[in-house]
Structures are given as C-alpha cells and as structure tokens.
C-alpha cells in the first residue's frame, strides 16, 4: 500500500486506480416509471462499459461500490434483488473476466452474504487470481469505518499475541492491514448520481484522491462520461502538500 506521499507523481495524466460510487439507479428507474430494480439491472451495463474503458485506458485498478454496510437498511425485497443480481452477474461475467485477464476481488464483510453468493465470490476470485491486466475490486457490504475497525482489530490481535510491537504501528503498517494492501490508493474518486458525499466508502484510502462528482445517473454513465472524468483528472494539479511551483514539470 502506497502512503499518501508515495502516491502518483503530481504530473501523471492517467489515474492508476479509479474508485466509483455507482449511485442513481433508483432515480433512473423512477424517471422512467419503472421499479427500482430496473435501474439496478440497467446499471450492470455501465459496470461492463466502465471495466472495458479502464482496460482501454490502461488503468491498473478499478474499485466499485456495489453494496454498502448501510444498504441493509433498504426494503428486504430490494436487498434480495441486489444479491440475486450480484450472483447472476458473477456467473455470467466470469468467462469474460478470464478472457480479458481481469482479476476480481471482493472487499467487505462478505460473511453476512447468503452462502451461495459467498461460494460464487470465492470461485470467481480463485479463477481470476493469476490475471494482471486490471484488478477489479467490488466493494460489497463494505464500509470505510468497518475497514478501519477491522484493521485495528487485526493489529491489536498481533500485539496481544506478541508478534507486533505497539511502536511499530505506523501509517504504512496500518494501511497494510486494511482491505487492499497491495494496490495504490485511488487517484480518482468518482461519484455519479449528483450527491456530494462519501457515504462511508473509502475513508482511509481517499486521503489524497481527486474527487469528481457528476449528476449523471449510474445507468447513463457510459464510456464518454468516463472519458470526461479522466479529462477532468488530467487537468488537476496534485500537490501532496507541496507548492504549485515545486510540482510544475521542469521545461
Ligand atoms: C446505487 O443506486 C446502487 C446501490 C446503492 C446498490 P441507488 O439505488 O442508491 O439509486 P438512488 O440513489 O436511489 O437513485
Ligand atoms: C452508496 O449509495 C452505496 C452504493 C453506491 C453502493 P447510497 O445511495 O446508498 O448512498 P446514500 O445513503 O444515499 O448516501
Ligand atoms: Mg443512492
């Protein structure tokens, strides 16, 4: 895990890691007088096109927020539908992931999911483990606070077992105990659907991410919209605490 200072050079124009809160499915459906689940189904197509776009742009990692630790509060029927959709999408897409050399990893507390879904997740993770073109992280039953708490718990257990000294807990050691320890923090953090909040998504990891909020609803978020977000990112000056002059490219 790269710490904040070691993230992408200030002048890099393409993010290495993009994280997305895929929001707006329900409103997309409401606008069409359709039930909410129609919006979730339509959103799957945006997932597909975004994965393709990441491969085309040479992005190394994509993290998608699929289900938050708070989404259990939704009506039971919607939660069940989302679980079913997740299972069927995993089953349907696995061949494509393999063909395109995409590695799938699910982050979050998956122990709360139906057994069938947990099994499907394990299968797809195992089948795509050796792939290195794109790491696709799906955040499911994920919460930024959960991730920080589980990292603290893991480190405390090591201390209690005598295998870790309290003085050795620093930012890097802590980051390594969070859910994704081997890929850099997101350079670009996108939220579709118009809300401007983080909704307990990546908290530790977005310390220096560039934030991009768009009113476009997730089912309408296509390759063009993705390219627009990349264009916006390319125009940002990332200073990581330094002055603008310090990070200007030398000519
Ligand atoms: C995001 O879309 C998908 C999930 C949370 C699973 P929403 O379902 O939150 O859509 P809106 O915000 O109600 O439009
Ligand atoms: C965040 O969206 C979760 C996902 C996109 C999976 P929500 O729609 O649940 O967020 P809030 O609760 O409106 O902030
Ligand atoms: Mg929403």
Predicted confidence (pLDDT) per residue in 140-178, tens digit: 999 999 999 999 999 999 999 999 999 999 999 999 999
Answer yes or no: are the C-beta atoms of 144 and 202 closer than 8 Å: yes
12-144+185-235 CATH fold: Undecaprenyl pyrophosphate synthetase (3.40.1180)
Q: Which of 68, 144, 189 has most ligand 2 atoms within 8 Å of CB, for mutation? A: 68
Residues forming the active site: 23, 71
The strand pairing partners of 190, in sequence order, are 20, 212
Q: Give the per-residue SS3 of 122-139.
A: HHHHHHHCCCCCEEEEEE
> Is the distance from the beta carbon of residue 50 to the nearest atom of ligand 1 less than 6 Å?
no
| Nearest ligand to the CA atom of 197 | 2
> Is the distance from the beta carbon of residue 218 to the nearest atom of ligand 2 less than 6 Å?
no
| Nearest ligand to the CA atom of 40 | 1
Phi (first) and psi of residue 105, to 5 degrees:
-140, 135
Question: Ligand 2 center to residue 51 CA distance, Å?
Answer: 20
Residue nearest atom 3 of ligand 2, based on CA coordinates: 68
Torsion of CA 1, 12, 204, 240, to 10 degrees: 110
Helix (H) or strand (E) run with residue 140 in it: strand 134-142
Predicted confidence (pLDDT) per residue in 108-121, tens digit: 999 999 999 999 99
Please state, for a pLDDT cut of 70, what percent of the chain lies above it. Answer: 96
Residue nearest atom 14 of ligand 2, based on CA coordinates: 199
What are the residue ranges spanned by the domains of the chain? 12-144+185-235
Q: pLDDT tier at 1 (50, 70, 90 boundaries)? A: very low
Residue nearest atom 11 of ligand 2, based on CA coordinates: 199
Residues 6+ apart with CB under 8 A from 231: none
- Looking at the CA of residue 217, tell me the nearest atom of ligand 1: 14
Q: Measured between alpha carbons, how far is 191 from 197 in angstroms, rounded to an integer?
A: 8
Predicted confidence (pLDDT) per residue in 44-92, tens digit: 999 999 999 999 999 999 999 999 999 999 999 999 999 999 999 999 9
pTM comes to 0.95
Q: pLDDT tier at 10 (50, 70, 90 boundaries)? A: low
User: b/e per residue, 95-104, with b = 16+ CB within 10 A?
Assistant: eebbebebbb
DSSP 3-state assignment of 186?
coil
> Is the distance from the beta carbon of residue 68 to the nearest atom of ligand 2 less than 6 Å?
yes
End-to-end CA distance of the chain: 31
Residue nearest atom 1 of ligand 1, based on CA coordinates: 23
Question: Ligand 1 center to residue 31 CA distance, Å?
Answer: 13
């Amino acid at each position: 895990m790269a710490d904040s200072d070691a993230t992408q050079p200030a002048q890099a124009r393409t993010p290495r890691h993009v994280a997305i809160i895929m929001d707006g499915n329900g409103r997309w459906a409401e606008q069409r007088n359709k039930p909410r689940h129609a919006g979730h189904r339509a959103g799957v197509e945006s997932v597909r096109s975004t994965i393709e776009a990441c491969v085309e742009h040479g992005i190394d990692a994509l993290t998608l927020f699929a289900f938050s630790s708070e989404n259990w509060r939704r009506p039971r029927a919607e939660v069940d539908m989302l679980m079913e959709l997740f299972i069927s999408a995993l089953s349907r897409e696995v061949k494509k992931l393999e063909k395109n050399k995409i590695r799938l990893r699910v982050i979050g507390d998956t122990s709360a999911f139906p057994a069938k879904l947990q099994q499907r997740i394990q299968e797809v993770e195992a089948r795509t483990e050796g792939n290195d073109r794109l790491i696709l992280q799906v955040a499911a039953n994920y919460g930024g606070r959960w991730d920080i708490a589980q990292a603290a718990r893991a480190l405390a257990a090591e201390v209690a077992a005598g295998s870790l000294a309290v003085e050795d807990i620093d930012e890097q050691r802590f980051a390594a105990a969070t859910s994704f320890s081997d890929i850099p923090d997101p350079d670009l953090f996108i939220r579709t659907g118009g809300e401007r909040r983080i909704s307990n998504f990546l908290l530790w990891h977005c310390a220096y991410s560039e934030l991009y909020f768009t009113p476009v609803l997730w089912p309408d978020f296509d390759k063009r919209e993705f390219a627009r977000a990349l264009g916006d990112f390319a125009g940002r000056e990332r200073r990581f605490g330094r002055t603008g002059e310090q990070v200007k490219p030398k000519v």
